[in-house]
């Protein structure tokens, strides 16, 4: 079972943001505004929850999963569900994974690729 699924299944709260989007192509940057705006909202949800001492998990619904949840929640056809967000208190016994340290000399470029 994918980790994101179990984290969402066990979360006491699940937030399902929606955004209105008739098209998702990049013909014009302005057509991507709803998509980029909802991801700013999602980031703010994560930051606010973390500031309150809560933990979050995220799962991006794909294809059938998106459509099934959208139908169950009666989300209008012109709206999309970008993500499911599980929110709750972290398991104090959960293993904390070590993060990879970034080598900034190799990743930062000044005026060149």
pLDDT tens column, 48-75:
999 999 999 888 998 898 999 999 999 9
Q: Which of 89, 90, 99, 83 is nearest to 40 (CA)?
A: 83
82 near 42, Cβ under 8 Å? yes
| pLDDT for residue 5 is more than 80 | no
For residue 74, count CB atoms less than 10 angstroms from its CB and return exposed for 0-12, middle for 13-18, buried for 19 or more: exposed
pLDDT band at 92 (very low <50, low <70, confident <90, very high): confident
């Amino acid at each position: 079972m994918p980790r994101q699924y179990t984290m969402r299944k066990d979360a006491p709260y699940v937030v399902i943001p929606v955004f209105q989007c008739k098209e998702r192509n990049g013909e014009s940057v302005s057509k991507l505004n709803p998509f980029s705006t909802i991801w700013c909202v999602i980031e703010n949800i994560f930051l606010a929850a973390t500031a309150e001492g809560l933990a979050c998990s995220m799962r991006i619904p794909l294809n059938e999963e998106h459509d099934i949840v959208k139908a169950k929640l009666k989300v209008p056809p012109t709206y999309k569900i970008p993500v499911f967000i599980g929110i709750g208190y972290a398991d104090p016994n959960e293993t904390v994974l070590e993060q990879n340290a970034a080598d900034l000399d190799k990743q930062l470029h000044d005026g060149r690729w």
